[in-house]
């Protein structure tokens, strides 16, 4: 039996991310949010493991209160329980402070496998999984596409994707895996599970009053990452010029001429 914890992130549903120039943190006001799409792949893998080997799936996010909607979504997919780690004391956390708070939350749970997505669409650092595993002192591996539980040996056997090959690893449990993006198709929310959210209230909110974490280790105070500079890159419109013809040499000369005119290359 596997008791699985999945970490998800509530992210802005936009490619335009605005930064507060004073604090260096995301400005979320006025922007709708969604569950990070790559984390839904992690939820799907956890649910498949639960269906095959039995156990439970608990989903955790450290987010503002609005992230309850995200937890309702993943419980609608089939997760058993949701925990929202939310407190103004956690605001502005970098990956170190975030991973610390998540790890301390997970220490309170009965788990033998932790699952994360590969990265998030709002930052793409891919740090959190490795940092949580480091805080918990458990083995971890990234880019997992398949997982199999070997109960009599208490290990998880995983298939890991590289650029042009696959590797197979065996990790002694408890362990943490990070699922490769696009490796699975997340299932849809079911009406039955959606009703369970309303009837059973399987979502809890844990503040720092509950966790009791040192305030110098969380939020902005616990974040050693310093913002050196914010620079907006101007959008460049493409001219959409096309060379017509079949002569490769002429096409090459035409392309070089255009690049010289734009100052993109020098001879």
Whether 54 shows a pLDDT value over 90: the answer reads yes
DSSP class of residue 153 equals G
Average pLDDT, the chain: 90
Superfamily per CATH, domain 2-217? HUPs (3.40.50.620)
Which ranges of the chain would DSSP assign to H, the alpha helix?
A: 37-53, 68-77, 95-106, 128-136, 191-200, 208-211, 248-261
Question: Percent of the chain, pLDDT > 70?
Answer: 90
Counting DSSP H helices and E strands in the chain, the numbers are: 7, 11
pLDDT digits (tens, 9 = 90+) for 78-118: 999 999 999 999 998 999 999 999 999 999 999 999 999 99
- Residue 212: HSE in the Cβ half-sphere, 13 Å Cα cutoff: 3
pLDDT of residue 21: 66
Q: Where are the domains of the chain?
A: 2-217
pLDDT of residue 82: 97
- The pTM of the full predicted model, rounded to 2 decimals, is 0.81
């Amino acid at each position: 039996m596997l008791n699985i914890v999945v970490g998800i992130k509530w992210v802005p549903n936009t490619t335009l991310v605005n930064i507060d120039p004073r604090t260096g943190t995301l400005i979320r006001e006025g922007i709708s949010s969604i569950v990070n799409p790559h984390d839904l792949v992690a939820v799907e893998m956890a649910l498949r493991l639960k269906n095959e080997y039995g156990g439970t799936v608990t989903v955790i996010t450290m987010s503002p209160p609005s992230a309850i909607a995200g937890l309702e979504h993943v419980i609608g997919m089939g997760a058993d329980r949701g925990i929202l780690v939310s407190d103004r004391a956690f605001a502005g956390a970098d990956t170190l402070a975030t991973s610390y708070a998540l790890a301390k939350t997970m220490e309170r749970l009965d788990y033998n496998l932790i699952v994360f997505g590969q990265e998030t669409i709002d930052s793409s650092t891919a740090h959190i999984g490795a940092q949580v595993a480091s805080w918990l002192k458990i083995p971890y591996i990234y880019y997992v596409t398949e997982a199999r539980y070997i109960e009599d040996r208490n290990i998880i056997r995983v298939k890991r994707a590289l650029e042009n090959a696959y590797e197979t690893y065996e990790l002694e449990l408890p362990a943490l895996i990070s699922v490769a993006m696009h490796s699975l198709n997340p299932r849809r929310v079911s009406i039955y599970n959606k009703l369970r959210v309303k009837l059973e209230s399987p979502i809890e909110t844990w503040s720092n009053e509950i966790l009791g974490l040192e305030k110098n280790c969380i939020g902005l105070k616990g974040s050693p990452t310093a913002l050196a500079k914010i620079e907006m890159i101007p959008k460049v419109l493409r001219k959409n010029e096309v060379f017509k013809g079949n002569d490769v040499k002429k096409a090459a000369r035409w392309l070089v001429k255009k690049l010289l005119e734009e100052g993109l290359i020098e001879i």
